Structure 1
């Protein structure tokens, strides 16, 4: 029987195509909702996979606007009773369920201060949506497998769309053209990525490892680590190359595999340098990316097909697909029920 996870991974191209059809005509509306050109910074609040999409927003939105983009600290609101001055900011909350009380609390505080409070969610009737000034409905449909796949890529696409809305309107046509190619690129990644089975063999034995990405794909590394941890039971730690080299690199060795993400974008150069260092220290190295970028790396290569190529700023949408496939393969090799791993539930409510 086909697992729910398998089906939901395969649904992603259609989900993204529907989302583009619904949201591209609304770019001007989102520009107004976020007060683009009037604000002096943005604040993001999220948990879990949504937090990994928010890491992408930190890089992309700063690149598009030149403004500081920060991740919120919800416990300031829910544990310490702090009152942040959000004047001049736009606050964006990402949550597929819209049910986490701490995420809701931050967005409610933003609305109370009269600043834009946008919710990106798959649940337009959720508590998060109720406190938002505007709601970007992912409209993914029910995601039944515990591990987020289609809601994650939909959230990343929502971030990309808002990145276009936040930037210079004169540049919009080129970015829109890039976006229109995303569904086909993701379909190619789902159907034609190679090397996943070989990489799964490397990761099936060890119970700990490291995942590395940088810049626009730092969130990809965090999402890959989350997927591998929750689906397989291995403890996978995500790092940027710089953070790994500042101390944790001492833990590398033959029993600690290093999974690296090097799509065709500028930050991948330092990821490939880190792969060389990991190999020197004896760690099994796995590298995900297109052959023309990663072909010279020693280790196990998971190759994205040429048909999955996108503009550099959109590579997080395709590079995460091999991570989903790899986590599923390792879990299956260990006999895990991939739709209900580790006693986890679909919705986590944190305070």
Structure 2
């Protein structure tokens, strides 16, 4: 069986290439606008996988600029009707469909509160896209599997492109230009031994640190929705503060290991979890696959490692879902567009 999910994972490189080509002028204008505005805060608006994109954007903004970036709960606008005070700030709404009423309402509230309203949206005919002051289309194309993959990768790239344009980061921009070919080259299936280790799991931890915490959250979500595995995401700096007590023999711990300053702090934590009996699977750049290691392609900017890591991880979740006899395209209790109010 060839799933739609697998096909769409394979389209991610082309989607990123389309987006980078389409948004050149928009990004230049937005970057200049944001430098002139010099916002004291960047606020994000999203749910689901898009909120994982927002968390990735948070780390990029804060690492690159030192400016706080925080998520605003859409219920502030839809349920509590609290006026926003965002004068001089930037709001970034991220959505695949652009049609969830709470996300649209929160963007309106942010704009009324004085924020420059930027939207990263796949459907450019959606209400969210039409009402944004600045639109960065994701250009992922139609996505039919309920489990979002190529649109999620496109959302991560749009956030990184925004930061590169705003901060005039040429290294990040150059690395982004080479990303489509990197993603196109990631076609290897995950190791069979790794699938067998995970096949009997009912629960798992997914760990990250820094920017990889965002994709740890997305990976845990994907394990839930495609494989019905109760996976929880934690920062490697937090997992020993209580959650580690549930670890016993064979308990899966999937770790997104970056190459940057966050790496060295993660290694002792993983060793302690292994000593407690955990089966540790590391996802990291370079090297070769084995039962405990999923190797990803290398990129020139470490801040883009989460993009290639989650792209490779999607192959693992798709294959694991099939190994478990599940349809990764059609989870039992989910649908493609979630319309929360």
Q: What whole-Å deviation, never above 9, does each CA across 1:178-211 have from its counterpart, x for those lacking one? A: 21111122223x224x654322211110111100
Given that residues 281 and 293 in structure 2 are in contact (C-alpha distance below 8 angstroms), is that contact kept between their aligned partners in structure 1? yes
Given that residues 147 and 222 in structure 2 are in contact (C-alpha distance below 8 angstroms), is that contact kept between their aligned partners in structure 1? yes
Which of 177, 181, 185 pairs up with 1:184?
181
Q: What whole-Å deviation, never above 9, does each CA across 1:48-105 have from its counterpart, x for those lacking one? A: 1110011111110112222111111222222222222111211010000111112111
Given that residues 220 and 233 in structure 2 are in contact (C-alpha distance below 8 angstroms), is that contact kept between their aligned partners in structure 1? yes
Partner of 1:68: 68
Given that residues 182 and 310 in structure 1 are in contact (C-alpha distance below 8 angstroms), is that contact kept between their aligned partners in structure 2? no
**Does 2:215 match 1:223?**
no
- In the alignment, the residues of structure 1 paired with residue 210 and residue 330 of structure 2 have an alpha-carbon distance, to the nearest angstrom, of 32
Q: What whole-Å deviation, never above 9, does each CA across 1:16-72 have from its counterpart, x for those lacking one? A: 111111223433211245455431110001101110011111110112222111111
Residue 330 of structure 1: how far off its partner (Å):
1.2
State the secondary structure of the residue aligned to 2:23. helix
Partner of 2:325: 335
Residue 304 of structure 1: how far off its partner (Å):
2.0
Paired residues, what number?
Answer: 341
Give 1 or 2: higher helix fraction.
Answer: 1
Q: TM-score, normalised by structure 1?
A: 0.92
Partner of 2:228: 233
Unaligned 5+ segments in structure 1 are: none
- In the alignment, the residues of structure 2 paired with residue 342 and residue 332 of structure 1 have an alpha-carbon distance, to the nearest angstrom, of 14
- In the alignment, the residues of structure 2 paired with residue 119 and residue 71 of structure 1 have an alpha-carbon distance, to the nearest angstrom, of 14
Q: TM-score, normalised by structure 2?
A: 0.94
Given that residues 175 and 299 in structure 2 are in contact (C-alpha distance below 8 angstroms), is that contact kept between their aligned partners in structure 1? no
Partner of 2:131: 131
Partner of 1:43: 43
Given that residues 36 and 166 in structure 1 are in contact (C-alpha distance below 8 angstroms), is that contact kept between their aligned partners in structure 2? no
- In the alignment, the residues of structure 2 paired with residue 335 and residue 12 of structure 1 have an alpha-carbon distance, to the nearest angstrom, of 25
Partner of 1:88: 88
